[in-house]
Structure formats: C-alpha cells, structure tokens
C-alpha cells in the first residue's frame, strides 16, 4: 500500500457517463482518486450487483467496490445490505481485513466509527449539523483530518448526482488507516449523497 504512504490528502471524483446523466438511470459507480497535484493515483469501480438492486434499493444496495492501481487490485470495499447502521469492510488485495466503518445511532448528527481489523476504534467521523458537506475525522475529541464534499459546479449538480470529495488524513495515519478512511468516503457518498437528486 505504498501508494498511500506518500500522500497526506486525496481528491475523489465520481465519473458519470452522459447516458446516465441524461436518463437518470443509475449505473455502477466509478471514481478517480487523485493526489494533491491532480495526478491519477487509483481507479475505483463498483462490481456486480443486480439491475433490480440499483433500481429499487438505490443507495441502500449492498456493493463491492474494487480499488485499482492500473491493472492490479489494491483494495476491496464490501458493504452488506442494511437499512440502518450502515457498514463497510475494507480489505487488502489478498482479502485480509484492514478495518471497517459503521454508522452509529444519532438523531441529529451523522456519526461513524472507524475501526482497525481487531475492532478497536481508530477514529470517529463526525458530520456537524450546520456543515452538511463536511465530516471531521476525530481522535480523542480533537479534529485530526477531514472528509468534505466539494461543489462540482451548477450544471453538474443540476443534472447528475456525481460527487467530488477531498480527504485530508491525520498526520500519523499509516497506510492501513488511510485505506480505511478512503473507504469511508465511498460509504458516506452512498449514504448521504447518492440519491440527493430524488429529494
């Protein structure tokens, strides 16, 4: 995972095809992951999944995302079906667990727990009520990093649900922790932004 060792922040851009933009029919999600200079670092693609699941379950659908460095799989992100307490497992290229993200019960706030493979809490993701596009990466009650959705322009926002995100990692995060926090971006996209055009 040395591709994450040398970066302290990433930009994630959802890739939408014109057919999906014009028809509104949801296809498999695809993303580009870039470093701070804008150079492509990783590619992410939703794998499998049924047409009926995308049509009826929409953002609640279970999914597997594969993260690629060129031709090779770097990470596997698996989300089981859940109505509540959304969950994502992050695995390396050999299907070994790196950690997980779980949404916690909260009435007015958006709170997620980020855990290592043994289940120990590494970080809490906290979405402030008055900053709906931002998730603070918290450790010991202090902000250590941030995940935020970036405005992608009026026309793109008006005609599609394509999303752009940025993540700034905690200073001392190792490659595994960065991989799990990268996975958190995709879970947040599905849970909070995937169906915003329907609302």
**pLDDT averaged per 10 residues, the chain (length 199):** 88 74 62 92 84 63 91 93 90 96 91 97 93 93 94 48 85 96 95 64
- 46 in Cβ contact with 16 (< 8 Å): no
What is the per-residue pLDDT across 164-191, written as a single tens digit (0 to 9) for each? Answer: 999 999 999 999 999 999 999 999 998 9
This prediction has a pTM of 0.86
């Amino acid at each position: 995972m040395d591709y994450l060792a040398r970066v302290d922040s990433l930009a994630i851009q959802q890739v939408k095809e014109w057919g999906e933009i014009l028809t509104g029919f949801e296809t498999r999600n695809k993303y580009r992951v870039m470093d701070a200079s804008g150079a492509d670092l990783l590619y992410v693609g939703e794998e499998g999944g049924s047409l009926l699941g995308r049509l009826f379950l929409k953002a609640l659908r279970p999914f597997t995302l594969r993260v690629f460095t060129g031709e090779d799989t770097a990470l596997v992100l698996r989300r089981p079906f859940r109505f509540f307490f959304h969950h994502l497992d992050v695995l390396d290229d050999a299907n070994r667990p790196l950690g997980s993200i779980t949404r916690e019960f909260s009435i007015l706030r958006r709170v997620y727990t980020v855990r290592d493979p043994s289940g120990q809490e590494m970080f809490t993701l906290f979405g402030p009520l008055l900053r709906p596009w931002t998730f603070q990466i918290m450790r010991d009650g202090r902000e250590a990093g941030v995940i935020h959705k970036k405005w992608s322009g009026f026309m793109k926002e008006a005609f599609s649900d394509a999303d752009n995100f940025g993540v700034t990692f905690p200073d001392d995060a190792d490659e595994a922790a960065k991989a799990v926090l990268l996975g958190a971006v995709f879970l947040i996209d599905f849970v909070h932004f995937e169906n915003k055009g329907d609302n």
